[in-house]
Amino acid sequence: MFEIIKDQVQNIKKIVVVTGAGISQESGIPTFRGKDGLWRNHDAMKLATIDAFYDNPELVWTWYNERRANIFAAKPNPGHKAIAELEKYAQVSVLTQNIDGLHQKAGSTEVLELHGSIIKIKCSVCDYKEEITSEFSEIPPICKCGNILRPDVVWFGESLPQDVWQKAMILANQCDLMIIVGTSLVVSPANTLPIYAKQSHTTLIEINPEITEMSSEMDLVVRDTGANSLPELVSLFKQN
C-alpha cells in the first residue's frame, strides 16, 4: 500500500499529519459533510457563526453540550494510535481540524488544533479562557465580567488563531512527509497546508475513502480509512 515511500523511510525525519473529521468518524464522532453528518439535521448557519451565537446562545450551547458528551465518550481508534506511534521513528506534528482531543488521548505530543477545542471556553468579550471541568448550572454560562462565555472553537467566518496558523505553515514547509487523513480539503485555510508542503517538494500521501479537492496533486492516494491503513504505514517504519 505504501510502497512509494519504502525506500525513503530511513530518510524521513519530520512528518506532518493533517487530519479532518474522517479520522474521528470511526471513533463514533459524526462528520459534518458525510451522509450521516452533523449538519444533516441542523442548519449550520444557526449553530456555527458568531451571529447565530448572539441570536440564540442557548441553542448553540445546548448543541455543543450534546456534542461534548458524545466526544467525551469516544476513544481513539487505530488511526489515532498509529499516528502517535510514528513518534518512535520521526518527529511528528499533527495539524488537526478536529476539536475532539482524540489525538492527545492517543498519545500524540505535538498537536496543533487549528479550529480550537470543544473542551475549552472563552469569553465573548474579555480575555478569559479555561478548560471545561464540569457542566454549567446555567445556559448560556456567564463570564465574571458579565458577558456570555462561548466554546473556544473557530466558527464559520472567523480567523484561525494566528500563532497556531503561523506554526502550522512553518511545519508544513519543513516536513519530509505529509499525510492527509480524513479531510475533504474544502475548508480554508487548512486546505492550503498541502500546497505549502508541495512547494517544498515534500511527499504527499492522502488517506481518504473518497476523492477530495486535491487528490490529483498527491504522490500517493490510499482509498481507505485511517484506522485501516495507518497501522500498515507504522509497520513500514518498524521494518527499517
Cα angle value 71/77/82 (rounded, 5°): 130
For helices 226-238 and 78-85, give the axis angle rounded to 10 degrees.
Answer: 30
Task: Give the three-class secondary structure for 17.
Answer: strand
Q: Which residues does residue 75 pair with via DSSP β-bridges, in sequence order?
A: none
Q: Which of 120, 121, 77 is nearest to 102 (CA)?
A: 77
Which residues does the annotation place in the binding site? 64, 67, 97-100, 123, 126, 143, 145, 182-184, 208-210, 226
The C-alpha atoms of residue 214 and residue 21 are separated, in whole angstroms, by 17
The C-alpha atoms of residue 193 and residue 99 are separated, in whole angstroms, by 18
What is the CB-side half-sphere exposure of residue 182 using CA atoms within 13 A? Answer: 28
> Secondary structure of 150-165 in the HEC alphabet?
EEEECCCCCCCCHHHH
Cell of 79: 488511526
* Residues annotated as catalytic (active site), given as ranges: 115
The C-alpha atoms of residue 36 and residue 31 are separated, in whole angstroms, by 7
Which residues does the annotation place in the binding site for NAD(+)? 97-100, 182-184, 208-210, 226
